[in-house]
């Protein structure tokens, strides 16, 4: 079964450790990571909380960076295309077993936060074995099986998914609201308190799973 994993890896074991050390406040988010052939990795990276000159100087001193090209400057964030050294490409391939995909990668405070999609638990087990054998500090923060249900794809329990969909269809989130929480609870045949908690937890899980990298396994 397809498995979605949230994990962290120290930057010193992947890329840009020296950049994070030089610029303590920098946030780096991968727009996408692509293979450029011959094991070359060419990520598109959004850079936040860093001056352009300081960031480029830090990259010049980082041994994992081969080339860097500024694509866009939006004042509050910069978009770069980088070329990482071959060793980084090989490491990323081994981390994902070539069959898995890195969906998201965010770097902050010397740590890369990854979201990786594996075709099955077996590929994830291979990654964990590889990391153990090579003393890589891959920390698994959350694992979710993608069972094909809409709730599973967005980090929601079935109850949270049903509550949110019912609330939207009933106009609960409209401005002004078309239905009160009590009325919605009566329609769903659950208590006011249970529905309130289900909606709050569902919204929290949905935001974490779509807007933030890290997401929490929710219990209801």
- Domains delineated in the chain: 3-145 (no CATH), 150-210 (1.10.10)
pTM, two decimals, is 0.70
Name the residue among 107, 112, 81 with its Cα closest to residue 27: 107
* Alpha carbons 85 and 203: distance in angstroms, whole number: 40
| Structure tokens given for 46 | 């959004």
d(CA 74, CA 89): 29
Integer Cα distance of 150 and 56 in angstroms? 42
Q: Could you identify the residue written with the tokens 């840009």?
A: 16
Contacts of residue 82, Cβ cutoff 8 Å, sequence gap at least 6: 42, 43, 45, 59, 65, 66, 67, 68, 69
| Choice between 34 and 188, residue whose per-residue pLDDT is larger | 188
Compute the chain's Rg from CA coordinates. Answer: 21
For residue 217, pLDDT over 60 is answered with: no
Q: Which residue is listed with tokens 């120290």? A: 10
pLDDT tens figures, 105-150: 899 999 999 888 888 888 888 888 888 888 888 899 888 776 655 5
CA–CA separation, 139 and 20 (whole Å): 19
Report whether 8 contacts 112 (CB < 8 A).
yes
Dihedral (CA of 199, 204, 209, 215) sign? negative
User: Within 13 Å of residue 133, how many CA atoms lie on the same side as its CB?
Assistant: 8
Residue with tokens 């980082």: 62
Question: What are the tens digits of pLDDT across the range 31-61?
Answer: 877 665 555 677 899 999 999 999 999 999 9
């Amino acid at each position: 079964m397809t498995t979605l994993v949230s994990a962290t890896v120290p930057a010193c074991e992947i890329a840009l450790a020296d950049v994070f050390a030089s610029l303590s406040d920098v946030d780096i988010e991968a727009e996408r990571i692509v293979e450029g052939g011959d094991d070359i990795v060419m990520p598109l990276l959004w850079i936040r909380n860093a001056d352009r000159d300081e960031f480029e100087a830090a990259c010049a001193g980082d041994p994992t960076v081969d080339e860097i090209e500024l694509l866009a400057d939006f004042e509050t964030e910069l978009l770069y295309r980088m070329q990482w050294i071959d060793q980084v490409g090989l490491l990323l391939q081994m981390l994902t077993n070539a069959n898995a995909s890195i969906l998201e990668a965010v770097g902050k405070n010397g740590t890369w936060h990854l979201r990786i999609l594996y075709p099955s638990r077996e590929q994830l087990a291979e990654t964990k074995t590889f990391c153990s054998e090579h003393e890589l500090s891959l920390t698994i923060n959350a694992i979710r099986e993608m069972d094909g249900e809409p709730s599973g794809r967005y980090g929601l329990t079935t109850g949270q998914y049903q509550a949110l969909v019912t609330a939207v269809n009933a106009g609960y989130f409209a401005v002004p609201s078309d239905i009160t929480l009590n009325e919605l609870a009566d329609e769903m045949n659950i208590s006011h308190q249970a529905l309130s908690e289900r909606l709050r937890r569902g919204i929290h899980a949905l935001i974490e799973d779509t807007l933030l990298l890290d997401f929490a396994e929710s219990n209801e």
